[in-house]
Amino acid sequence: MTKKRPIIPPAPRSALLPKCPTGIQGLDEITGGGLPRSRPTLVCGGAGCGKTLLAAEFLVRGAVQFHEPGVLMAFEETAGELNANVASLGFDLAGLVRRKKILVDYVHIEPGEIQESGDYDLEGLFVRINHAIDSIGAKRVVLDTLEALFSGLRNEAILRAELRRLFRWLKAKGVTAVITAERGREQLTRHGLEEYVSDCVILLDHRVNDQIATRHMRVVKYRGAMHGTNEFPFLIGENGLSVLPITSLALNHQVSNERIATGIPRLDAMLGGRGFFRGSSILLTGTPGTGKTIISANFAHAAARRGERVLFFSFEESPNQIIRNLHSIGLHLEPLVKRGLLRFHSARPSLYGLEMHLATMFKEIAEFQPHVVIVDPITSLMDAGTDSECKGMITRLIDYLKGGQVTTLFTSLTQGGHVLAQSEAAMSSLMDSWILLQDFQGNGERNRVLYVLKARGMAHSNQVREFLISDRGIDVVDAYIGTSGVLTGSARAAQESLEKAAVLASQQEAAQLEREVERKHAALERQIAAMRSDYETEAAELRRIADQVGTRTIVLGTDRAASGRLRQADIKAPTSPQVSPRNRKLPA
Amino acid sequence: MKTKAIRSQPPHQSPFPPPVKAGNYILRLFVAGATARSRQAVLHVRQTCAAELKAGCQLEVIDIYQQPQMAQDHQILATPTLIKTYPRPVRRFIGNLLNLAGLFAEAKPELAAKPVL
């Protein structure tokens, strides 16, 4: 992690105070390059805030990274104790002592043994420091904790005069010194050492907020140099101290146009068809049980299947529990874990403070070099700190990840009812994409819907979609949106069947009409046929009748003529029948 | 309490071990350079030894400028420092050693009984 730190560009030496890099992560950034070279620096703070460790790390890093041997004058701890204490930070002090990179001189003061008698000076201490410096060619000196002298020697007037002389002498000697001192009640140090060390004063502080302790560091004074004046959280981890400056990072990340799929094709479709941008930050908010973990696991699965490394920070469930639970929706994560593509990191949010969480996350990220990071859920971490601390932390995390083009998915648990809680509103400005998961209650059931609230730099769907979680995974389906609102779940199914029934009914109706028409047509045809046959019968009848009538008329005429002739009547004999058959009513 | 007990009882009846012989005293005086203060300290120690311990004592004067390692080995902070390494207990006197009361407490109980001013 130390290698990644940007190198401070050298300034013209005549103009600026020469600095002595500490190598402590972040401290060089806030002090603009390190402690003032060849001058004493006072590190003060209460018990247990890391003064000795800071001083020891200054020496060790100086010896290892900057090839500047160092002397540690220990007034409180013996060499053996110091070795053990700094070994917890992964520093091999004993080894450095053997290689003559560091010299530890334990200054033992036994007040009970000492009887003061008249005038004296601290030349003994001077000679020891001088001897130590000269024997290894030291450039750095740590005096931890000089104030032990005040408990051993009673003549404060002599002591103060000698301390003043000591600091002057250290300056003249050209060594960069770190002097640790206990925090006083009304002044920076218990014995007012800040009076003598006026070049650089760093104040350490260990505070407990809501039962969670966080260490802070502040550069109270730095003569002749620009420095960060804020209070910076810092922590003591396995690799020493790390100060985490919030404001030291600039907004100048590289951006990528590459898009990565979410593992849910329909969700990709909602995001302009191609998913999220690589290196973007994604927020997934939802009330409890809306499927945040499942969607994020899907995302993780898809990324790991593409061969990308995924780091999954889980603050709610253990890795095994996540793997087991995702089995139920047909997502098999353990082969990916075995192949080293997916790594879980589970920790309870209350395990340690926010800063420690952040540092552990940084460490994991630096180690694993993931392409995708999932934090599930980020809201758990909010319990570990105040809102502003949290926002600061998330800002730093996002900045750090964006700097490395890592795509990050945060899930956020919202309370039912007010989805857009204030903390989220604050957080959302840091996020590039925001997907909201919600549940709809009604008709005695609860259904999940999702929509894209924002997606910077891409066209995205404005629709609310319902998504179903089944043993085959996640399926995003269209929700019905009508005048009565969004229909989901069985209401949607009912609506679907209702529509199906309607279609069926109209189909049936059409068929019925068709049949009716046919029937009518058939009836018509039948009628026509009947009429035609009637007509034909009638016509035949008429013809028969007409024939009959004709015959009869002739017969009648002949008959009349015959009878007239018989009666001698003067009648005109008809020549042809006059009556048209149609004018006569025919017998039925 | 302790001083009272010593005063009321003759030395041979003391529950404490009998005083060691004066010649067994081992003293080390650490000084820083040949300053006036150093010389003063050496002088005072010599005078006191001569006055209090007739048989003399083993006095070693060490200049820490010459032997800085000795300063570290003997945990010297202030100069001048007189260390009485034997007899026990180890005592350290710092300063110009004008008042060395208590140095020979084991040899002269009545000296130790005097209030130290």
DSSP state of A461: -
Contact A115 B80 (CB under 8 A): no
| DSSP H/E element including A366 | helix A354-368
Q: Region A22-31: what's the mean pLDDT? A: 83
pLDDT of residue B6: 43
More confident position, B98 or A80: A80
Alpha carbons A122 and A156: distance in angstroms, whole number: 12
Question: CA Rg, chain A, in Å?
Answer: 49
Alpha carbons B45 and B104: distance in angstroms, whole number: 12
Residues A443, A446, A451, A453, Cα dihedral to 10°: 100
Is residue B73 in some structural domain?
Answer: yes
Is residue B53 in some structural domain?
Answer: yes
Name, in order, each residue with C-beta under 8 angstroms of A394's C-beta and a sequence gap of 6 or more: A378, A410, A427, A430
Alpha carbons A38 and A97: distance in angstroms, whole number: 22
Pick from B69, B77, B102: which is nearest to A107 by CB? B77
Is residue B50 in some structural domain?
Answer: yes
CA distance, residue A25 to nearest chain B CA (Å): 34
Q: Which amino acid is at A299?
A: F
Complex ipTM > 0.90: no
Residues A389, A395, A400, A403, Cα dihedral to 10°: -170
Name, in order, each residue with C-beta under 8 angstroms of B10's C-beta and a sequence gap of 6 or more: none
pLDDT at B105 over 90: no
Name, in order, each residue with C-beta under 8 angstroms of B9's C-beta and a sequence gap of 6 or more: none
Collapsing DSSP to helix, strand or coil, A377 comes out as coil
Q: Which residue of B has its CA nearest to A162?
A: B78
CA distance, residue B55 to nearest chain A CA (Å): 25
pLDDT at A391 over 70: yes
pLDDT at A173 over 50: yes
Q: Which domains does chain A have, with CATH numbers?
A: 19-243 (3.40.50.300), 259-484 (3.40.50.300)
- Find out whether A299 and A283 touch, Cβ atoms under 8 Å: no
CA distance, residue B68 to nearest chain A CA (Å): 6
CA distance, residue B89 to nearest chain A CA (Å): 8
Q: Region A163-190: what's the mean pLDDT? A: 87
CA distance, residue A209 to nearest chain B CA (Å): 42
The whole-chain average pLDDT of chain A stands at: 82
| DSSP H/E element including A389 | helix A387-403
Q: Which of A71, A75, A104, A115 to mutate to test the interface with B (most CBs of B within 10 A)?
A: A115
Confidence class for position A109, pLDDT limits 50, 70, 90: confident
- Look at chain B and report how many structural domains it folds into: 1
- One DSSP character per residue, A409-441 reads EEEEE--SS-SS-HHHHHHHTT-SEEEEEEEEE
Distance of CA A153 to the CA centre of its chain: 58
- Find out whether A133 and A68 touch, Cβ atoms under 8 Å: no
pLDDT at A1 over 50: no
Chain B CB contacts of A125 under 8 Å are 76-78
Collapsing DSSP to helix, strand or coil, A500 comes out as helix
- Find out whether B90 and A112 touch, Cβ atoms under 8 Å: no
- Find out whether A282 and A431 touch, Cβ atoms under 8 Å: yes
What does DSSP say about strands A231-237 and A310-314: parallel, antiparallel, or unpaired? Answer: unpaired
DSSP state of A246: S
pLDDT of residue B100: 66
Q: Region A148-162: what's the mean pLDDT? A: 85
pLDDT tens per residue across span A493-511 = 777 788 888 889 999 999 9
pLDDT tens per residue across span A279-303 = 888 888 888 888 888 888 889 999 9
State the catalytic residue, choosing from A76, A195, A317, A541: A76
Minimum mean pLDDT among A12-26, A177-191, A305-319, A438-452: which range? A12-26
Chain B CB contacts of A114 under 8 Å are 92-94
Chain A CB contacts of B93 under 8 Å are 114-117
Confidence class for position A176, pLDDT limits 50, 70, 90: very high
User: CATH code at B38?
Assistant: 3.40.30.10
pLDDT of residue B11: 45
Contact A149 B77 (CB under 8 A): yes
Contact B80 A120 (CB under 8 A): yes
- Which residue reads 């026509």 in tokens? A528
Single out the residue of A346, A335, A288 nearest to residue A313, CA to CA.
A346
DSSP state of A313: E
Phi, psi dihedral angles at A188 (to 5 degrees): -65, -40
Q: Which residue of B has its CA nearest to A110?
A: B92
pLDDT of residue A525: 94
- Find out whether A95 and A52 touch, Cβ atoms under 8 Å: no
Q: Which of B70, B94, B100, B114 to mutate to test the interface with A (most CBs of A within 10 A)?
A: B94
Contact A123 B32 (CB under 8 A): yes
Alpha carbons A326 and A263: distance in angstroms, whole number: 14
Q: Which residue of B has its CA nearest to A73?
A: B72
Is residue B4 in some structural domain?
Answer: no
pLDDT at A266 over 60: yes
Pick from B33, B71, B91: which is nearest to A128 by CB? B71
Contact B97 A121 (CB under 8 A): no
3-state secondary structure A217-229: EEEEEECCCCCCC
pLDDT of residue B109: 46
- Find out whether A113 and B92 touch, Cβ atoms under 8 Å: yes
Contact A105 B93 (CB under 8 A): no
Collapsing DSSP to helix, strand or coil, A258 comes out as coil
Contact B75 A107 (CB under 8 A): yes
More confident position, A444 or A180: A180
- Find out whether A329 and A474 touch, Cβ atoms under 8 Å: yes
Is residue B40 in some structural domain?
Answer: yes
Q: Region A487-492: what's the mean pLDDT? A: 74
Q: Which of A117, A121, A155 to mutate to test the interface with B (most CBs of B within 10 A)?
A: A117
pLDDT at A533 over 90: yes
Alpha carbons A203 and A218: distance in angstroms, whole number: 5
Residues in A whose CB is inside 8 Å of some CB of B read 105, 107-110, 113-125, 127-128, 130-132, 149, 152-153
B27 interface with A at CB cutoff 8 Å: no
DSSP state of A8: P
- Which residue reads 């050492």 in tokens? A193
Through-space distance between the first and last CA atoms of chain A, rounded to whole angstroms: 120
Contact A122 B78 (CB under 8 A): yes
**Dihedral class, residue A444 (left if φ above 0, else alpha if ψ from -120 to 50, else beta):** left
Contact B72 A105 (CB under 8 A): yes
Pick from B71, B90, B95: which is nearest to A116 by CB? B95
pLDDT at A517 over 90: yes
Is residue B8 in some structural domain?
Answer: no
State the catalytic residue, choosing from A195, A316, A334, A541: A316
Q: Which residue of A has its CA nearest to B78?
A: A122
Q: Region A88-106: what's the mean pLDDT? A: 86
Alpha carbons B45 and B85: distance in angstroms, whole number: 15
B96 interface with A at CB cutoff 8 Å: yes
pLDDT at A33 over 80: yes
DSSP state of A330: T
CA distance, residue A119 to nearest chain B CA (Å): 5
B46 interface with A at CB cutoff 8 Å: no
pLDDT tens per residue across span A465-475 = 888 888 877 88
Pick from A117, A121, A130: which is nearest to B79 by CB? A121
Query: Using CB atoms within 10 A of its CB, is residue A172 exposed (0-12), middle (13-18) or buried (19+)?
Result: exposed
pLDDT at B44 over 60: yes
| Residue pairs between chains A and B whose CB atoms are closer than 8 Å | 92
The sheet carrying A140-144 orders its strands as A102-106, A70-74, A140-144, A176-182, A40-45, A200-209, A212-222, A231-237, A240-243
pLDDT at A485 over 70: no
B67 interface with A at CB cutoff 8 Å: no
Is residue B16 in some structural domain?
Answer: no
Alpha carbons A166 and B113: distance in angstroms, whole number: 38
- Which residue reads 């019905």 in tokens? A480
The whole-chain average pLDDT of chain B stands at: 71
B75 interface with A at CB cutoff 8 Å: yes
Is residue B11 in some structural domain?
Answer: no
Contact B68 A125 (CB under 8 A): no
pLDDT tens per residue across span A403-442 = 778 899 988 887 655 545 555 666 777 788 888 888 877 7
pLDDT at A136 over 70: yes
Q: Which residue of B has its CA nearest to A111?
A: B92
Parent domain of B88: 31-113
The beta strands (E) that lie in A310-444 are given as: 310-314, 342-346, 372-376, 407-413, 433-442
- Which residue reads 């407990």 in tokens? A208
